[in-house]
């Protein structure tokens, strides 16, 4: 349970209001402030989630590029090794 829920329950309770000496207007104002803070909090969380998702997506693309480059390097290396073996086999056959 978020911390805001127990705080809201306590601050809107009749005993708390009576003890604090606040009237109905102040209580309504406190609820309005709470709702405003909740909206702001949701906006901040949404913005941060969006930024994190964009950063994750960018990192994923970078990793795909690195992986693709590594695969191409491996393929070139294997092709070079195969060509070297073919040359060695051809040279040995020609001598023989």
- pLDDT at position 84 is 61
- Would you say residue 55 has pLDDT above 80? yes
Q: What is the pTM of this model?
A: 0.45
**pLDDT per position as a tens digit, 15-44:** 776 666 667 777 778 888 889 999 999 999
User: What DSSP string runs through the chain?
Assistant: --THHHHHHHHTSHHHHHHHT--HHHHHHHHHHHHHHHHHHHHHHHHHHHHHHHHHHHHHHHHHHHHHHHHHHHHHHHHHHHHHHHHHHHHHHHH-
Q: What sign results for the dihedral spanned by CA atoms 62, 68, 69, 74?
A: positive
The pLDDT of 37-61, averaged and rounded, is 93
């Amino acid at each position: 349970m978020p911390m805001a829920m127990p705080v809201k329950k306590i601050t809107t309770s009749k005993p708390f209001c009576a003890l604090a000496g606040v009237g109905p207007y102040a209580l309504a104002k406190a609820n309005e402030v709470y709702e405003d803070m909740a909206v702001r909090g949701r906006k901040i969380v949404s913005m941060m989630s969006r930024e994190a998702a964009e950063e994750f997506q960018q990192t994923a693309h970078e990793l795909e590029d690195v992986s693709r480059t590594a695969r191409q390097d491996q393929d070139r290396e294997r092709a070079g090794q195969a060509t070297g073996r073919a040359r060695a086999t051809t040279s040995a056959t020609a001598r023989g």
